[in-house]
Amino acid sequence: MALPEGMRARLRLPAIAAPMFLVSGPDLALAACRAGIIGSLPANNARSIDILESWFARLNSELPADAPPWAVNIMVHKTYLRMQEEVDLAIKYRAPIVITALGSPKAIVDQIHSYGGLVFADVNSVAFAEKAAATGVDGLVLVSAGAGGHTGQISGFAFAPAVRSFFNGTIILAGGIGTGQAVRAAELLGADLAYIGTRFIASEESMAVPRYKEMLISATAEDIILSAALTGVPANWLRGSLIEAGYDPKNMPEKAPMNIGKVEEAAKRWRDVWSAGQGVGAIQSIEPVAAIIEQLVSEYRAAVSR
């Protein structure tokens, strides 16, 4: 196990509320931290750098010093033009954790370490995990099969032990984790933290529209469709939202051209078609983040004492 010193004592549950485009903003991140897990938001959910700055200021001022740390997700893809501005803000506000996605974390590791921040890199293969580990990151987020958003294709059962065999830093396991039992299972596989996205989309604090939240309540794992047709990268989508947007889930078009850095274009797609992971079945109602975490904690404790 390799959590940074002192971190476990600040967490009620070894978990991160994962960053989600158009879903997680400062309200969700703050609620997650207040309820005892690491809260996060993607920087590109802020329409402008000034808005992002106001979010960072809120996170720093509204959380007590002994609360779980907060995290910001920054796209490190070469087409993403706002990257360095976001990194500069993370430095200014001493973001406790920066989670990189869609590229190599190399360019930012030293910058974030300069003030004592941690860098966790999002990876979806063992080869990418090896490359990211070599850049000196503190943690690796293993995006496994069944994850919401741009999913990996490797089972978490195979992915976590494979990476643990060569990486001594923090391992965060993602993909279909929607219960406290699954959080415990992630630890048994060698992970230090669980990365939970989908379970929080139907929270009161999420920015998802009401119809999206309702669709999650009735969906099961069978309603999750894997397709690269929308963003050029394999992602998991809710069947009902594909149908409402005019797609035939049984006959999805070929892979779209990849255009990750263009946030406005991406927003159009993610606004009309909704993503979720295979853990969607755990969602039974729209609840406050604190209630979801309370349930996860009680399930986790029961699993630990078995």
By CB under 6 A, name the binding residues for ligand FMN: 18-21, 23, 42, 73, 101, 122, 143, 146-149, 174-177, 195-198, 275-277, 279
Give the CA angle between residues 16, 7, 186 to the nearest 5°: 45
Please, what is the minimum distance in Å from the beta carbon of residue 65 to ligand FMN? 26
Tell me how far, at minimum, the Cβ of 174 lies from ligand FMN, in Å.
4
Which of residues 42 and 69 has its CB atom nearest to ligand FMN in the complex? Answer: 42
Determine the residue with CB nearest ligand FMN: 197
> Minimal distance in Å, beta carbon 90 to ligand FMN?
15
The least CB distance from residue 176 to ligand FMN, in Å, is: 5
Quick one: CA dihedral 222, 145, 97, 169, positive or negative? positive
* HSE-CB of 163 using CA atoms within 13 angstroms: 38
Residue 23 vs 83, nearer CB to ligand FMN: 23
Q: Shortest gap between Cβ of 115 and ligand FMN (angstroms)?
A: 22
b/e 83-102 (16+ beta carbons within 10 angstroms → b): beebbebbbebebbbbbbbb
Residue type at 50 in one-letter notation: D
14: nearest Cα among 38, 33, 46: 38
Give the SS3 label for residue 204: coil
- Closest to ligand FMN by CB, 18 vs 37, is 18
- Could you tell me which of 162, 161, 100 has the C-alpha nearest to residue 136? 100
Q: Residue 208 CB, nearest distance to ligand FMN (Å)?
A: 8
Q: Which is nearer to ligand FMN, 63 or 183 (CB)?
A: 183
Indicate the residue among 42 and 180 with the shorter CB distance to ligand FMN. 42
Residue 280 Cβ vs ligand FMN, minimum distance, rounded to whole Å: 8
Closest contact distance (angstroms) between CB of 13 and ligand FMN is: 14
Q: Which residue has the tokens 């139907």?
A: 202
Q: Based on CB atoms, which residue is closest to ligand FMN, 117 or 175?
A: 175
Inter-CA distances, 47 with 44, 53, 128, 137, 275, Å? 7, 11, 30, 28, 21
Q: How far apart are CA 142 and CA 173, in angstroms?
A: 5
Neighbours of 78 (CB within 10 A): 13
**Inter-residue contact 149 to 19 (CB < 8 Å):** no
Q: Which is nearer to ligand FMN, 122 or 169 (CB)?
A: 122
Task: Report the half-sphere exposure of 72 (CA within 13 A, side-chain side).
Answer: 28
Q: Would you say 26 or 149 has its CB closer to ligand FMN?
A: 149
